[in-house]
Amino acid sequence: MTFEECRNCGKPTGHKRALGWGTFFGAVLTGGLSLLLIPFYPTRCIVCGCATDEGPLNTATSDSGTEKTPRLVYFIWAALIALGVLGYIGIWYSWF
C-alpha cells in the first residue's frame, strides 16, 4: 500500500489494488492465469475509491503536469495476454 495525497478527496491516504469477486471468478475460469494481470490493476484510494489514473473530480486540486498511461496500452497488453492464453490452450488440447 502506498501513502500519497488523493486527487479526488485531497486527503493523504493509502492507495491499494482492489481485489474482489471478479478477480476470484476470473482466476477460477482461467485456471489462475488471470492472476498475472493483477499488477496492471490501478491502485485505488482507500477512502473514496478513486483510481490513481483517473482524473480528479475536484479541479482545484488537479496537477496539470502529470501524465497518464493511455488505456490503449492496457488494452494491447490484455489482448496479447489473451492471445497467449488461447495459444497455450490450443497447444495443450492438440496433444490430447
Q: Quick check: 14 pLDDT over 80?
A: yes
User: What's the mean pLDDT in 71-89?
Assistant: 86
pLDDT at 10 exceeding the cut of 50 = yes
Quick check: helix, strand or coil at residue 17?
Answer: strand
pLDDT tens digits along 16-73: 887 888 888 888 888 888 888 888 888 888 888 777 666 555 544 445 445 556 777 8
Structure pTM?
0.46
| Residue-level pLDDT at 96 | 62
Strands 43-45 and 2-5: unpaired
